[in-house]
Structure 1
Amino acid sequence: MFQGYSADKFFDEMFSSDGTVRDHCEPLHQKFKNFDKDDFLARKATSELYFMRQGITFNVYGDDKGTEKIFPFDPVPRVIPANEWEHIEAGLTQRIVALNLFLHDVYHDQEILKDEVIPRHYIDDAVNFRKEFRHVDVPKDIYIQICGSDLIRGADGTYYVLEDNARCPSGASYLLENRNSLKRAFPALFDTLGVRPVDSYPRDLLNMLHHISPRREGEPVCVLLTPGCYNSAYFEHCYLARRMGIEIVEGRDLVVMDNFVYMRTTKGLVRVDVIYRRIDDDFIDPVVFRKDSVLGVPGLMNAYIAGNVALANAVGTGIADDKVIYHFVPKMIEYYLGQKPILPNVPTYLPSEEKDMDYVMKHLPELVVKAANESGGYGMLMGPQASKDEIEKFRGLIKADPRNYIAQPVISLSQSPTWCDGAMEGRHIDLRPYIIYGEDVKIVPGGLTRVALNKGSLVVNSSQGGGSKDTWVLK
């Protein structure tokens, strides 16, 4: 299975630079070595059939080849030893606590701006800073209840935080179904290897929703608010609602009366206490935000401000998603917690700073440039792989709106053995762990390992041709 496999010059998750198998991967390596190729391919086909029958899909906007696609899955898991996971877990916990303290501060007293740790104009000019919600209290002072912070691993094996997804992070359903698929197709892989389970995620998610409910008596009524079946993550919305045992609703299913939110049912109106929303701020209430939105609930923000309904995540968390604000997270950790960051950021240049602008303009062909509020691999320039025309186009975009861009050096993402084109080859990966912040911080052991299935590509997003793997955290 691994004959001819090359780790090249990248950090490989299974093999050391001298070609020997890493100790924590040896049991898995032995099991795969014992597979007959035909048996392996038959089991791989079983996992793909499972995804098809379960309808495990995603949508790509603007793709003329079809709306829904089966999520590509590679059956060779990514393995993380217990000591590495403890480090990741501590770093992510530190990070989400600091981000929540920042959000509470920036929507209330703004001490971090007064002390000039973050220049005020970066907040005032941010498209996702909701000035309307200054001094609005949120349940338990928690703004980001669900976070998906993307991690990458550099050539030296160091884990870096690439970005924080603090609004409506997606992908948890694929994490859960990757595990289910692998167990069905390769049940013997799990024997004696001590892999930590991931199936607590829906329960932890529901417990968090109950924790932030404004109504304390009786069982809170929680719903998942979806934009509808044409959203790229609609499969996940249905999946998580079903696993939690709560209703999935669209905006038209909810109505606001006397600053309370009610769900329309066949038996009449039912009061709603908590909304797990998968709709961005701009579309959630046409009275306050986009007037042309037909996805949201008119008057929802009145009920929210009155404290009669809780939202996960809170309105205004997009400021923490801003890639320019990402640059300041290490300073937030030091400012609010008095600690050094456990997980470092990728070095980041801000073209809105004169010195950084000079550097970016001189080194643009060597850098990765990202728009501050884009996601999914859109609005990005991979300098070393870009044409001269693309580089010049971005040069103009950056000069025209420097606040809207960041630039970073190219990090050689780690790679993991992946079955591609009839052979086992190294493909670049990242990791999206899922953090739930309720009564305490819960992190599902592992996360979604995304794979750049195109050879040499560093872009792992499903919308750009990526797939995923099961992620094993060892006990």
Structure 2
Amino acid sequence: MNDLWRDYRSPGFFDEAFDDSGQARSAANALVRYLGEFGRTELETRRAAADLAIKSMGITFTVYSDAGMIDRAWPFDILPRPIPKHEWDRVREGLQQRVTALNMFVADLYADQRIVADGVFPREVLAQSANFRPECVGMRPPGDIWAHICGSDLVRDGAGEFYVLEDNLRVPSGVSYMVENRLVSKRVFPELFAQHHILPVDDYASELLDSLNALSPRKDVTPNVAVLTPGVFNSAFFEHVWLAGQMGAELVQGSDLFVDSDDCVYSRTIYGPQRVDVIYRRVDDAFIDPEVFRADSMLGTPGLMRAWRAGNVAIANAPGAGVADDKVVYAFVPEIIRYYLDQEAKLPNVPSWLCMNDTHREHVLANLDSLVVKPANESGGYGMLIGPRSTAAERKQFADLIQRNPRNYIAQPTLALSTAPTLIDGSARPRHVDLRPFIVSRPDDDAFVTMGGLTRVALREGSLVVNSSQGGGSKDTWIVADEEV
């Protein structure tokens, strides 16, 4: 062991690189040996090279809370997170099962609502859903797929078992950073990629484009695909530009599009109007069409929903898919899988208490100091209470919020999130991580799951908040071929 690993310990947590005895796990063995030959100077040189690559590649994100919403360089840790392929194969099957059932669930809610009539999913949960869109009732997207792109957040517990923490089915972000992390990692450790079989992630854009092309209402022409962005001030604008460039698609804002009298969507170009067949939208439902949703929206296109209902344009993710992107709905996913697929969930949920349930609510209110409380429809780590790190005043505030609107809150145990070695001041230190793989669903084919995903890391010691907007960073995720393990 050199200085990098000599003092590395992660007591009480499952560590991604080392077992409880301090031995490198099989998928991390080659990496640990290789980095064990580095001194602090060499590690600092590699880290500086990564920082330079990130700046030269223009990899940024925006934090809304910053004055002026200044772009920041993407926070990247050079020590990757290795996972063996045979383990990932089980995760992949669980994600495919999960997204298949969720698409069936959304399709049912906008059609016959059998799952509600059969008493499996509570009618009051649907009635109070912030993301159920009555305007979408009766619609049938191609293949009954509503959530074409899903990003499910995974965590490991102290025993190393993967759990699904939440599902993101509205406008999931982060896939560009997953791919760019790999490009930076290859620059930092080219020797490892030459010597070992680390499975690729750079096929995502082509898989996504194939899926979007399959949605086109015009089968006799090459589809014209557009990425709809809210604009340069959106925190994920880098990703919108990246996706359009990788797919060879148009990058458009709502004002770049119009719907003509034929109920078709056209983009304004220097060559005149050009029909758009498929829109990969990164704009929330409420803002995509001021004729139907928010009349004050400047981000959408009037008539877009009319064109979609007429079958003249495909939209991914479909409007209304966010009804399943709800942390209360999340708690019912095992039952949803059982109902539609007659199977048990291959990936477990984190145990959850629904504050709308009287018994659950009493338990939550009595144990706020030990639980994590989440609002049903927030993202980015905002609006949460992390009980063990909260103050009495914060717990009092959340107790009031829960009692005023119990449907809006769930609670979960404070998990012993797994850790991964992270370079801190020249030494490896354990930091908590999660993982967001991406699943692309397509008509008449199995869902595509990325080889790994975006590993997010809480850079602050002891922190469980991995979001980049709140001080988190990211790592390259290596799915290591079994012959290397």
Residue 67 (structure 2) aligned to one of 53, 64, 78? 64
User: 1:449: which partner in 2?
Assistant: 455
What is the aligned partner in structure 2 of residue 32 from structure 1? 35
Aligned equivalent of 2:337, options 314, 333, 336:
333
Superposed, which structure 2 residues align to 1:125-140 within 5 Å?
A: 125-140=128-143
2:11 and 2:196 mapped to 1: Cα distance? 28
- How far has the Cα of 1:202 moved from its partner? 0.5
Matches within 5 A, 1:94-113: 94-113=97-116
Residue 68 of structure 1 aligns with an amino acid whose one-letter code is D
Structure 2 CA distance for aligned equivalents of residues 289 and 202 of structure 1: 30
- Structure 1: 5+ residue runs without aligned partners? none
Q: Check whether the contact 2:43–2:426 (CA below 8 A) recurs between aligned residues.
A: no
Q: Work out the CA distance in 2 between the residues paired with 1:148 and 1:327.
A: 17
Which runs of structure 2 are paired with 1:178-217 in the superposition (5 Å)? 178-217=181-220
Partner-residue secondary structure (3-state), 2:227: strand
Find out whether 1:158 has 2:161 as its counterpart.
yes
1:380-395 alignment runs, 5 A limit: 380-395=384-399
C-alpha displacement at 1:9, in angstroms? 1.2
**Which secondary structure does the structure 1 equivalent of 2:80 belong to?**
strand
1:24-59 Cα offsets, whole Å, 9 max, x none, are 211111011011221111111111111111110111
Give the Cα–Cα distance (whole angstroms) in 2 for the partners of residues 236 and 96 of structure 1: 23
* Paired residue total: 475
Paired letter, 2:401: L
Query: Which residue number in structure 1 is paired with residue 243 of structure 2?
Result: 240
1:409-468 CA-partner distances (Å, limit 9, x unpaired) = 011110000001332100000000010111431111010000000110001011111110
Distance in 1 between residues matched to 2:10 and 2:401, nearest whole Å: 37
Identity rate, percent: 51
Would you say 1:372 and 2:376 are equivalent positions? yes
Give 3-state SS (helix, strand or coil) of 2:195's partner: coil
Cα displacement (A) at 1:83: 1.3
- Identify the residue that residue 307 of structure 2 maps to in structure 1: 303
Q: Of 414, 417, 425, which residue of structure 2 is paired with 1:413? A: 417
SS of residue matched to 2:241: helix
Q: In structure 1, which of residues 244, 251, 256 is the aligned counterpart of residue 259 of structure 2?
A: 256
Q: Report the residue type matching 1:98 in the other structure.
A: A
Once the two structures are TM-superposed, the CA of residue 193 in structure 1 deviates from its matched residue by 2.0
Post-superposition offset of 1:369: 0.3
| Displacement of 1:65 | 7.8
1:314 match: 318
Amino acid at match of 1:153: R
1:66 CA displacement:
5.2
What is the DSSP-based 3-state SS (H/G/I as helix, E as strand, rest coil) of the residue aligned with 1:73?
coil
| Offset of residue 23 of structure 1 | 1.7
Deviation, 1:383, is 0.5
TM-score w.r.t. structure 1 length?
A: 0.99
The CA deviation string for residues 292-319 of structure 1, in whole angstroms up to 9 with x for no partner, is 1100000100001111000010011111
2:291 aligned with 1:291: no
Counterpart in the other structure of 1:460 = 466
What letter matches 1:284 in structure 2?
I
CA distance in 2, matches of 1:80, 1:199: 17
How far apart, in 2, do the equivalents of 1:456 and 1:141 lie? 43
Aligned partner of 2:362 among 351, 355, 358: 358
In 2, are the aligned partners of 1:276 and 1:311 still within 8 Å (CA)? yes
Aligned position for 1:267: 271
Q: 1:434 aligns with which of 434, 438, 442?
A: 438
* Structure 2 gap ranges (5+): none
The runs of at least 4 consecutive aligned structure 1 residues that moved more than 3 Å come to none
Q: What is the RMSD of the two structures over their aligned residues, measured on CA atoms? A: 0.9
| 1:410 maps to amino acid | T
In the alignment, the residues of structure 2 paired with residue 328 and residue 319 of structure 1 have an alpha-carbon distance, to the nearest angstrom, of 13
Do the aligned residues in 2 keep the contact of 1:10 with 1:412 (CA within 8 Å)? Answer: yes
What is the alpha-carbon distance in structure 2 between the residues aligned to residue 62 and residue 90 of structure 1? 38
Amino acid at match of 1:80: I
Deviation at 1:87, TM superposition (A): 0.7
Q: Is the 8 A contact 1:7 1:19 kept in 2?
A: no
Between the aligned partners of 1:212 and 1:55, the Cα distance in structure 2 is 32
